[in-house]
Amino acid sequence: MAQIPLWRQLLATAEVLHAIRNGASATPALAAVEGPLRPGVQSLVFHSLRNLGRAEALRAQLAKRPPPPAADALLCTALALAWQESDAPYEAFTLVDQTVEAANRGPAKAQASFINACLRRFLREREALVAATDRDPVAVWNHPRWWIQRLKNEQPQRWQEILQANNQHAPMTLRVNVRKTTPALIQSALAAINIEASLVGDSGLALARARSVQDIPGFSDGAISVQDAAAQMAAPLLLDGMDTRQPLRILDACAAPGGKTVHLLEIVPAEVTALDIDPIRCERVQRNLERQGLQATVLVADANQPATWWDGRPFDAILLDAPCTASGIVRRHPDVRWLRRETDIAQLARLQASLLRQLWPLVRSGGRLLYCTCSVFRAEGQDQIETFLAHHTDARLLPSPGHLLPRTWDLDEAVPDNRIRDNDGFFYALLEKNAT
């Protein structure tokens, strides 16, 4: 197969960046890229998004005002890829040459000379230009200014480490189905085919390098699933200590794509209802169940409107993985930081509070509800639960992890809500309804 020229990849990368700037998430924008181009373009897009604050600051140094959107996306793509020599995926002059070629062959043709002049000036004055942008926190941390300030306020001891972790590549983490095998056996099977993996938590394995799931023994027959170490805590936390002598009746609200649904059924035989408002995402839940040979009732419904789907029988346990800003999974979805607005936090917090209010009556006396979000912001975690408890005297908070921070630093016993290394950001609160 002929090698794909770099200019084509750069042009497609700029088109994806342009779509994200217009409000599209990276997932559908990348899905629109033709198949052979997509893997390389995804890598370049993620690299560009992790360096976009710096790139935009450099572009502001090079041009008094931004060029038209298509040209600006291409110029910022090149600056994001080139600004740090030690991390640049391509030699600088090659990148400039191919960026100009991309401009000449795409919608930025009229700005090709401008892009060429900006990039060549950047190469000549790199050190001074980068130093000038070092005064801009958005350039230094590659997050929006409001995001940086919010973390400073909420995590004054850890905000820098959180932002640094957000700009790293997330590890590929597997969850082992302990009903079929053990983490040690899967680790040995991986080692036999030269795939290095380390044990994480009770049933997880973190791969030293990401692989296609089709290359991993045990995936096709349901012995393993892909799930971050922090997300793997949900099902065991909800079920720990519950009486399983009779099949539990469990609701997984907002269940898609189904990883937690499957995990619940791997731990205990139960009557599980998996709910999601999106029919396409419900199909993913069903496929995940089928791959594992498991069964659950999958409903396309709005968890916020139980009257439209609940049969009146209370649940022993409810898992509410609530919609949130996804601020804890920026490593996996680097577009999130640029798509979110600070006003989204209050809007989503209202939705989360409504879901808690609507689902709490569905929990039986003595039953549990596990509230979780993949967010690091307190409005979606600790503040949310404190407000709920203040208004629901029939609820008590059981021992819970609280805020798990996205992290790559070593374990610190002084920070009790961080128990694993290299996890996504999450929040967990386990609530129990007082027995009557």
- Active-site residue numbers? 374
Contacts by residues 25-30 (CB-CB < 8 Å, ≥ 24 positions apart) = 25/333, 25/335, 25/339, 26/333, 26/334, 26/335, 27/333
Task: Please tell me whether residue 157 adopts helix, strand or coil conformation.
Answer: coil
Q: Which of 247, 237, 305 has its CA nearest to residue 275?
A: 305
Residue recorded with tokens 């997050």: 143
The secondary structure of 26-37 as a DSSP string is: HHHHHHTS-GGG
Segment (H or E) for 300: strand 297-300
157 CB-side CA count, 13 A = 4
Answer for the pair 149, 162: CB distance below 8 angstroms, yes or no.
no
Answer for the pair 195, 216: CB distance below 8 angstroms, yes or no.
yes
Distance CA 434, CA 436 (A): 6
Residue 326 region by backbone torsions, left for phi larger than 0, else alpha for psi between -120 and 50, else beta: left
The strand order across the sheet containing 224-226 reads 197-200, 204-207, 173-176, 224-226
Answer for the pair 394, 434: CB distance below 8 angstroms, yes or no.
yes
Distance CA 240, CA 79 (A): 50
